[in-house]
Amino acid sequence: MRVYFETYGCALNRADTSLMKSLVVSAGHEVVNTPSEADVIVVNTCTVRKDSEERVLRRLRQLSRSYPRKRIVVAGCLAAAQPYTALKVVPNASLISPQNITKIVEVIESSVPKYLIRGVRDTSKLSLCFDGAVATIPIAEGCLGDCSFCIVKIARRRLRSYRPELIIKMVKEAVRKGAKEVDLTAQDTASYGIDLGRPRLPDLIREVLDEVGGNYFIRIGMANPDTLMNVLDGFIEVLKDPRVFKYAHIPLQSGSDKVLKIMKRKYTYDEFRDLIRELRRKIPEVTIATDVIVGHPGEDEEDFIMTVEALRELMIDKVHIAQYTIRPRTEAASMPQVPECVKKRRSVIVNRVVEEVGSMINKEYLGTRAFIVITHKSFRGDLIGRTINYKPVVIKGADSLDVGVNAYALVESYTFFDLRSNRVITLS
C-alpha cells in the first residue's frame, strides 16, 4: 500500500509523522511523495490557533475533492480535540489522535474508517525527524498546565515522558547519522520526568552528554516558567556545558499579573523577571526567547502596556507574538472578547517593540567573529548557521560550504531577527 503524509504544526507533530512513516515502512508499505501516487493520505493536523485550523480544514477539503476515491486519515491535534469538525469536512475519514499514532498501520490497513481518539501515549517507540543537520527528538508529550486559552491540552492531555535510555539511544543514532544540532522537544521540557519520579530535565541532559560523544550541540526546547523554577539550578549548570546551546525558550504570555491569572498561568511577572535575571547573571551570553499573546480576554490597555514594558525591560532576544484567537472547548472562549481591531492595533505596536529591541541586541554583534555550526538551508537557499547562543547567521555567497560544517563567520550586518555574513572560514 502506498501512503502519503502531510504535516502541519509544531516539532512534536513533525516527529510524530516521522514515527508514523517508520512504522508504515516497517510493516511493508511504501511512503510516497505526492497524494496522487497514494492509496492512503495521512494529514497530521494542527489546531493550536484559528488560522492553523482553517488552513488544515481548507487542505482537507481540497484533498477530499481532488481524490474522492482515496482514503484519508486525519491525525494529530484536530482529530483529538475536534473530531466532529474533522468529520464534517471529510465524513469518511479515519481519525487518529497523537496518543494513538503507534497504531497507524492498523488504521491504514483497515477497510473501514477507524476512530482512535482516546488512550495514552505509547512511549516505547521513537523516531528521528531530520531537517538538514538538525534532528528533533521528543522527550515528552503533554504538560501539567491548565491554561484558559489552550486547546493543545485537550489534544495532548496527559504528561508522558520517554525513558532516558530510549532518548539516549535516539541521540546516538542522530549523531551517527550526521546531526550537528539535536533538538530535545516537548510541550514543556521542564516537566520532563515528573511522571517518572526521576530523572528530571537537567538529569536527562547530563546523561545524554555523558553517554553520547561526538561533534554535536543540544538545543533544549520550550520550558514553562513555573516548572523551570523547580529545576533552575540544574538547568543553568547543563547550559554551561560547551555542547549545549546557551538558549532558553520561556513563554511569558503577558506582563500583567491580572491577565496571567485569567490565563491560569502559574507565575507572576516578578517571578518571570527573576528567572530571566538569574539566567543572565550566571550565563551572560544566553539568548532568551519568549511567547506573548495579544488581546487575550480580560486584557485592557494598561495590561497591554505592561507586556510592552516587560519586553523592553527584559530585552528579550526573540519573541513569538500571537493575536488571541478563540479555541473551542477552552475557558477563554466563553469570556468577553477583545475587539479584533484592538488586537490588530496592539499586535502592530508590540511588533515594532520587538523589532526595536531585537535590532539593539543584534547590533552589538556587528564586526565580531562568531563560531557557528551550519545547520540547514533557508527557503531562499541561503545557508543558516547557529552561534553558541543560537543566534541565526545567514550566510551569503558561500557556494563552497555545506550543511553540517563548523566555521567562523564575520558578522557584517544584522536585522532584528538574525545576523548576516559574507565572510566565513571553515574549520577542518
Q: For CA atoms 183, 189, 194, 197, give the dihedral sign.
A: positive
What is d(CA 228, CA 160) in angstroms, rounded to the nearest whole number?
17
What is d(CA 186, CA 188) in angstroms, rounded to the nearest whole number?
5
The number of helices, as runs of H, and strands, as runs of E, in the chain is 14, 22
Q: What is the pLDDT of residue 239?
A: 97
Please report, for the chain, the start and end positions of each structural domain, with discontinuous segments joined by +: 2-116, 121-245, 369-426
CATH topology of domain 121-245: Transcription Regulator spoIIAA (3.30.750)
DSSP 161: E
Closest listed residue to residue 180, CA positions, set 418, 386, 389, 426: 386
- Output phi, psi for 241, to 5 deg: -65, 140
DSSP assignments along 9-54, one per residue: SSHHHHHHHHHHHHHHHHTT-EEESSGGG-SEEEEEE--SSHHHHH
pTM across the whole model: 0.94
Angle at 383 between CA 381 and CA 385, to 5 degrees: 150
Q: Residue 217, SS3?
A: strand
Q: What architecture (CATH level 2) is domain 2-116?
A: 3-Layer(aba) Sandwich (3.40)
3-state secondary structure 239-272: HCCCCECCEEECCCECCCHHHHHHHCCCCCHHHH
Q: For CA atoms 176, 181, 187, 188, give the dihedral sign.
A: positive
Q: How many CB atoms within 10 Å of residue 385? A: 28
What tens-digit pLDDT sequence spans the chain (428 residues)?
A: 999 999 999 888 999 999 999 999 999 999 999 999 999 999 999 999 999 999 999 999 999 999 999 999 999 999 999 999 999 999 999 999 999 999 999 999 999 999 999 888 889 999 888 988 999 999 999 999 999 999 998 898 899 999 999 999 999 999 999 999 999 999 999 999 999 988 999 999 999 999 999 999 999 999 999 999 999 999 999 999 999 999 999 999 999 999 999 999 999 999 999 999 999 999 999 999 999 999 999 999 999 999 999 999 999 999 999 999 999 999 999 999 999 999 999 999 999 999 999 999 999 999 999 999 999 888 888 899 999 999 999 998 766 788 899 999 999 999 999 999 988 888 75
- Superfamily covering domain 369-426: Nucleic acid-binding proteins (2.40.50.140)
DSSP 338: P
What is d(CA 369, CA 337) in angstroms, rounded to the nearest whole number?
48
The grid coordinates listed for 104 are 497507524
Q: Residue 85, SS3?
A: helix
Closest listed residue to residue 260, CA positions, set 291, 229, 231: 291
